[in-house]
Amino acid sequence: MIPRYSRPEMSAVWSEQNKFQRWLDVEIAACQAWAELGQIPPAAAAKIKRDAHFDLAKVNEYISITHHDVTAFLRSVSESLGEEGRYVHFGLTSSDVWDTATGLQLRDASDLLLRDIDGLSAVLERQAKAHRDTLCAGRTHGVHAEPTTFGLKLAVWVDEMRRAKARLQSAREAIAVGAISGTVGTHASVPPALEEIVCRELGLGIEAASTQVIQRDRHAQFVMTLALIGASLEKFATEIRALQKTEVLEAEEPFDEGQTGSSAMPHKRNPEKCERVTGLARVLRGYAVTAMENVALWHERDISHSSTERIVFPDACLLLDYMLTMFTDIMDRLIVYPDHMLENLGRSYGLVFSQRVLLALIETGMPRQDAYVIVQRNAMASWKGRTPFLDLLLADNAVTSRIPEAELRGLFDYDFYLTNIGATFERLGL
């Protein structure tokens, strides 16, 4: 991933140095397990644990010769040891090391992403509570529907991020596994007992039935989960973008001192951060497709997945880490315009109360279809003539003969919506 979208902690998880270190962690754990099973001398295992290391520059040099990163890595490790080096990688195949180490990296990446989600959720909860009673227009199809509050919009996002966290926790559990089962997964060269010891030592679950690789449905679940979280962020960002339109201007992403929005038009305050979230979510969805296509490998394995995973795993984790932290900052410093929200509510001349009028007429005993025709007729006249909806209803005998004036005026009351919105906040514990 390009540096622009990479943060230090996640970059460290996916650095070449850390990747090979995780390989070494697996190799050392295997040697310790062999010693525990009596296969290699305890003193040799102890020396390997103490002295084994690799030189990244040498590994890259050897890769240019071998065109095989595992053998290049093993050559560098062997140079740090004496005769004990012959026990390193004993009975293992490349995928034992690669897949198990990748499980460690994905587990560590998941923990960072879960922390990011907690950070965003905390900000969303704070903003939702702060704007619980901030009235605004609820829109369907982009058109005024009924009154809502900005806090309720954000409460929906809070609930969605809670689901995102649960999904990622499940994906973390699925991906944090190891497999030390040898070529084609038969345990012919490494007993199941060794696999159990290694995975226990590394804090991983065990792939109960493996071929030569850990099955890629696990990895697909993980990347798809990241893509789904990205889709939620895109949804949130799209809402902010829509609310930032000049003719709407109900909310606006932060615009810092010295920031510029356009090279040509100095006045522009563009929602470029939210647009960035939207664009990066598209990349994540593409990675999810790739991860799904990696599930079907030939027979006990091929390496058609390997080339893609070198890109997809690091990039997907780096991207979502970046998106989550950036959107957290957007929401933390979001500019909200309650007065504009109320002003915009009034732009539809009270039509947002049409359902309440419809229901009130039905409650008097009027057939629903008749009531609908009366309310819609007045609503269309209100919109066409730019006339307050309530004024037209008060002048319509078909309405006032059924609903007293005071009761009709009472239907045009925002507090009714505020009272009922509170139930959602109670459900969410906000």
pLDDT value of position 262: 73
Neighbours of 165 (CB within 10 A): 17
Q: Where are the beta strands (DSSP E) in 90-142?
A: 135-140
pLDDT value of position 268: 84
pLDDT value of position 265: 85
Q: Extract the residue ranges of the chain whose pLDDT is less than 70.
A: 1
Q: How far apart are CA 288 and CA 7, in angstroms?
A: 21
pLDDT value of position 132: 97
Q: How far apart are CA 144 and CA 158, in angstroms?
A: 23
Q: Which backbone phi and psi does 205 adopt, to 5 degrees?
A: -75, 180
Domains and CATH numbers, the chain: 12-90 (1.10.275.10), 102-199+207-253+267-347 (1.20.200.10), 351-411 (1.10.40.30)
């959107």: which residue's tokens? 327
- Residue 400 identity (one-letter amino acid): T
Q: Are strands 177-178 and 205-206 parallel, antiparallel or unpaired?
A: parallel
Active site residues: 141, 262
pLDDT value of position 257: 84
Structure tokens at 213: 């690789």
- Closest by CA position to 77, among listed 26, 33, 15: 26
pLDDT value of position 294: 93
Question: What's the full length of the chain, in residues?
Answer: 430
pLDDT value of position 255: 85
Q: What is the pTM of this model?
A: 0.94
